[in-house]
Each structure stands twice: as structure tokens, then as C-alpha cells.
Amino acid sequence: MKPLAVPRRGRGEPLRRRRQVKTRRRWTWRSLLHAPIPQLVALLLVLGGLYGLATSRLFSISTVQAVGDSSLTTDAIRAGCECVGANIFLTRPEDVRARLTARLPWIDVRQVYTRLPDRLVVDATDRRPALLWRTTAATYTVDMSGRVLYDLHAPPVATAMIPTTATVPLVYSPHDVRLTPGQFVPSTAIKMVMQTRADLPASLAPSVNVYRWSPYSGLTAHSTVGWWFSLGIVLGDDLRMRVDAVSNAYKQGYMDQHHCNYVDLRPGINAYCNYQLQWHWPLGPGTAPARH
């Protein structure tokens, strides 16, 4: 049996599978009935609920809590964070942390987080003072990075936590400058003091308690034995060689033999003993004997 032949389309005969031409439906008021009314109502309810949460007093921050090994008080957080009364959902913890770090530089804010419905928690620790920085105007505590923590005349911490010259070294900068907490002193001076204290021999290190800093001549150290010695303004091996030179001179009794009060360490790393009246005072030139 022969297969059935598929009839050919004659001329003028339309295609059976021709795509229908899409036409734009004319908009009328009746077309609103076809809109997703339930979805719109749900969206409005969600937006209304979010607005209610953002403006509700139930979720306004009213409780501030300090945790961690810090002397930070609730009053200090309230004054520094500017967050009391703000909505807990709209408060960004990183912004609160930045404000507290800028306004309370004597603490290290490790973390800030919120707890529903109205509590803000600040996890902080006290920054450890590395030395005292004194100018002719005031004395400040400074950490290892050179950040000024607070003025000793108005300390924000308990009296027992304030360092003294018996616990940390003192660096004197003979300038009439007032610093504000959060500013930085020269980091080179901090690094030189720390390296000098680490490189001095155990027999000499306890007697070195005061340093004098100048951006031009560098660092000069004072020994309670009764003399100053210059260390320049360079870190690393050059400073280590200068410390070794003054240590050897001290072991040999060089200062006692020459009755000097100032030891100049020349580029050749040799000790030159001098007696200069300006280095007779405890903080060097321009200071009175009674100032400590």
C-alpha cells in the first residue's frame, strides 16, 4: 500500500501554524480588577510593619551596658555614642564603635552589638600607657603607637590606674604645646625609647628614667647616676651601636673618671665626655631643679 501523500499547500492558502500577531490591550478602569490586589495589600502591610518597628518606642535604645576589662562607665558610653533613644534596627554598631574610639581614645573598643528590644552592649578594654609625654604645658599618657590617651591633670580613669615615672619612662619635649586625646606624638621617639630600654644592660637600664626629645637632635637619655647621653635620631643598628658604646663606657667607669654630666656619642660611636651646666637639671636645658 502506498503511503498517504501530504497535500501541498496551494498558492494563496494561509499557513496553519502562522504566529498570531500580538496586539496591545487597551487600558481601561476595568483592567484594575485584573491587578494582583492581594500582593499589593501584603506589600503595604509589610511596609507598614517596618515603619512601625522603626518608629516604635519599644525598640528605642534605653539601656547601655559596658563589658570587658575596662574602666568604661555607662555614663561615658552614653555621652560618647550618641545612641540613646535611637531605633535599635537603624543603629549601625560600626558607627557607634567609630564614635567611641574617636571620643574615648584611652579605651580600645573591640566590639559593639545590640540586644533586643532596647539594649546596646560595648565590649572594651583600657589602652595600656607605654610612657608619659611631657611638654611645658602638661603631661600626657601615650600608648605604644604614640596615641595620646589623656592629660594627667584631668584623668578619666581611676587614680590607681594612672602611671607614674616609677612605672613608665618619661619623655620631655621642650615645647609649649597642648595636646588633645587622640592626637599622636612622633612614633620615632616612642620606638627609640623602647629599643633603648631593651638594649641597655641590666646594670644600667634601671637608672635610665627620663628622655628628652627634639625633632632636630633626636633622643637624649638621662641616668640617675648623674649624666645624660645622646642617642641621635636613627633606629636599628645605629642606635644599638650607640647604646653599646655608652654601656661599655659605663662599665669602664669613663663618666666617673672624667666627672662629666653629658656624654656625646659621635658618628664614630665613641663616647666623648663633657661637663655642661645646661645638662645639670633633671630634664635638661631650660628646666628647674625642682621639676620631676
Query: What are the pLDDT digits (tens) for 196-217?
Result: 999 999 999 999 989 999 998 8
Contact (CB, 8 A) for 115 and 130 = no
Q: How confident is the model over 105-157, as pLDDT tens digits?
A: 999 999 999 998 899 999 999 999 999 999 999 999 999 999 999 999 989 98
Which domains, ranges and CATH numbers included, belong to the chain?
57-126 (3.10.20.310), 131-279 (3.40.50.11690)
Could you list the pLDDT tens digit for every one of the 292 residues in the chain? 555 555 555 555 555 555 555 556 666 666 655 657 677 777 777 777 767 666 777 888 999 998 988 777 788 888 888 889 998 888 999 999 999 999 999 999 999 999 988 999 999 999 999 999 999 999 999 999 999 999 999 899 888 899 999 999 999 999 888 999 999 999 999 999 999 999 999 999 999 989 999 998 899 999 998 899 999 888 888 899 889 988 988 998 888 888 889 998 865 567 888 888 888 887 888 886 544 4
The partner residues of 109 in beta bridges, in order of sequence, read 124
Determine the residue type at 254.
Answer: Y
pLDDT for residue 54: 64
pTM score: 0.77
